[in-house]
Amino acid sequence: MHKNPWCGCCGAWAAALRQAGYKITLHDSDDLAPMKKSLGIPDKLQGCHTALIEGYYVEGHVPLDAIARLLKERPAIAGLAVPGMPKGSLGMGSDPDASYDVFAVSKDGSAVIFQHAGN
């Protein structure tokens, strides 16, 4: 997982993945833009951290059930993305009214909604 060294929500997201049984190796960087660009993550879909898992990228605060679905279904995509830092998303605190979309991003950078999270 690539993250800014001063980001607390990234650490909370990583902790949730560890608790769910994923092995997480943290890589701190002051400038994540080159890495995100090299993976082809569109600017409008970027979150605050990027994880690499079994040939996919997982960008931002993607929930556990979306990651599990990705690894089970293995769609022909580059990865999943939750743009920005939605309030109540995994690692961003508890909000019973949280509502946001998880996008499946194709290798050409196009995206469709993979699933809706929250209410």
Average pLDDT value for residue range 89-106: 90
**Domain extent for 47:** 2-118
Helix, strand, coil share of the chain (percent; to 5): 25, 30, 45
Q: Give the per-residue pLDDT at 119.
A: 67
What is the per-residue pLDDT across 1-45, written as a single tens digit (0 to 9) for each?
Answer: 999 888 888 899 999 999 999 999 999 999 999 999 999 999 999
Q: What tokens does 103 get?
A: 């996008």
The pLDDT value given to residue 6: 86
Structure tokens at 75: 């769609």
Number of domains in the chain: 1
